[in-house]
C-alpha cells in the first residue's frame, strides 16, 4: 500500500507539472495607455493587449476590440489568442482594449451618456481614445465594440447615436427594460435613420425579466 501511495503521488506530481498553464501575458503582452482628456482634469488609464505576432510582424495591421469593463480584459485577450493562434483562424488576431481599472473620470463620462446628459463619452472614444490608439498601434481600421448586459445596452446606444464609431458590435444580453438609456425608444426613433452601410451586430438574449 505504501509503495502504491508513493507511485500515485509521483504520478500526480508529474501530471500537475505537465498541465501547468502558460502565462497569457507571455503570449499577449499587455501595455498601459494613459489618455489625456479635455473632459476631466485626470487622465484615464487603459490596458492594451497585443496579439502574439505584433512584435514579430512589423508590417501587419490589426482589428481593434473595445470593452468598457476592466474585468473583461483577460477573458477577451485569452479567447482571442486561443481562436487566432493558428495564423488568425478562425478569428483574426485582435488588439483588445479596456479600462485599466474602475476609473472615476471614465465612469463619469459613461454615466452622463447613458443617463442622457450629454454625448461627451462618444467624443472621448472617437477623438481621444481611438485617436491615441491609432497613433501608437498598427490598427487596420476595423473596430469592434463588445459588451454584456448594461454595457451591451450602451453598445446599442453607440450604434444608434454614432454609427461610424464601430464596424461591429457583439452584445450579450442587453438590458432592454428599466435602463436609463431607454434603448427600445431609441431603436424606434433612430434605427430607420442609420446610414445605409454594412454594420455587423451579434445580439443574444435570454428569458430574464429585465431583457
The domain spans of the chain are 23-204
Q: Given this model, what pLDDT does residue 203 score? A: 93
Q: Given this model, what pLDDT does residue 10 score? A: 60
Q: Across the beta sheet with 62-67, what order do the strands follow?
A: 30-35, 44-49, 94-99, 62-67, 139-148, 168-172, 200-204
Average confidence (pLDDT) over 142-160: 96
φ, ψ at 136 (rounded to 5°) = -95, -30
Q: Given this model, what pLDDT does residue 5 score? A: 53
Please tell me the pTM assigned to this model.
Answer: 0.86
Q: Given this model, what pLDDT does residue 8 score? A: 55
- Report the range of poorest mean pLDDT among 27-31, 65-69, 102-106: 27-31
Per residue in 4-26, pLDDT tens?
Answer: 556 555 655 655 555 555 566 67
pLDDT greater than 70 at residue 171:
yes
pLDDT greater than 80 at residue 110:
yes
- Of the pLDDT bands very low, low, confident and very high (cuts 50, 70, 90), residue 209 is confident
pLDDT greater than 90 at residue 211:
no
Q: Fold for domain 23-204?
A: Rossmann fold (3.40.50)
Comparing CA positions, the residue from 156, 171, 165 lying closest to residue 197 is 165
> How much is the mean pLDDT over the chain?
89
φ, ψ at 61 (rounded to 5°) = -110, 160
Amino acid at each position: 500500500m505504501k509503495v502504491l501511495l508513493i507511485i500515485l503521488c509521483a504520478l500526480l506530481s508529474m501530471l500537475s507539472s505537465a498541465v501547468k498553464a502558460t502565462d497569457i501575458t507571455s503570449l499577449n503582452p499587455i501595455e498601459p495607455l494613459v489618455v489625456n482628456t479635455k473632459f476631466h482634469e485626470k487622465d484615464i488609464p487603459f490596458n492594451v493587449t497585443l496579439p502574439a505576432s505584433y512584435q514579430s510582424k512589423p508590417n501587419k495591421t490589426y482589428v481593434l476590440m473595445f470593452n468598457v469593463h476592466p474585468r473583461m480584459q483577460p477573458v477577451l485577450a485569452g479567447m482571442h489568442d486561443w481562436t487566432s493562434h493558428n495564423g488568425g483562424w478562425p478569428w483574426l488576431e485582435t488588439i483588445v482594449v479596456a479600462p485599466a481599472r474602475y476609473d472615476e473620470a471614465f465612469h463619469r463620462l459613461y454615466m452622463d451618456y447613458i443617463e442622457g446628459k450629454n454625448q461627451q463619452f462618444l467624443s472621448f472614444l472617437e477623438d481621444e481614445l481611438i485617436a491615441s490608439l491609432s497613433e501608437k498601434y498598427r490598427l487596420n481600421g476595423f473596430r469592434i465594440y463588445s459588451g454584456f448586459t448594461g454595457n451591451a445596452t450602451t453598445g446599442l446606444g453607440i450604434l444608434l447615436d454614432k454609427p461610424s464609431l464601430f464596424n461591429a458590435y457583439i452584445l450579450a444580453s442587453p438590458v432592454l427594460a428599466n435602463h436609463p438609456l431607454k434603448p427600445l425608444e431609441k431603436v424606434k426613433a433612430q434605427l430607420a435613420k442609420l446610414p445605409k452601410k454594412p454594420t455587423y451586430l451579434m445580439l443574444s438574449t435570454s428569458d430574464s425579466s429585465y431583457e
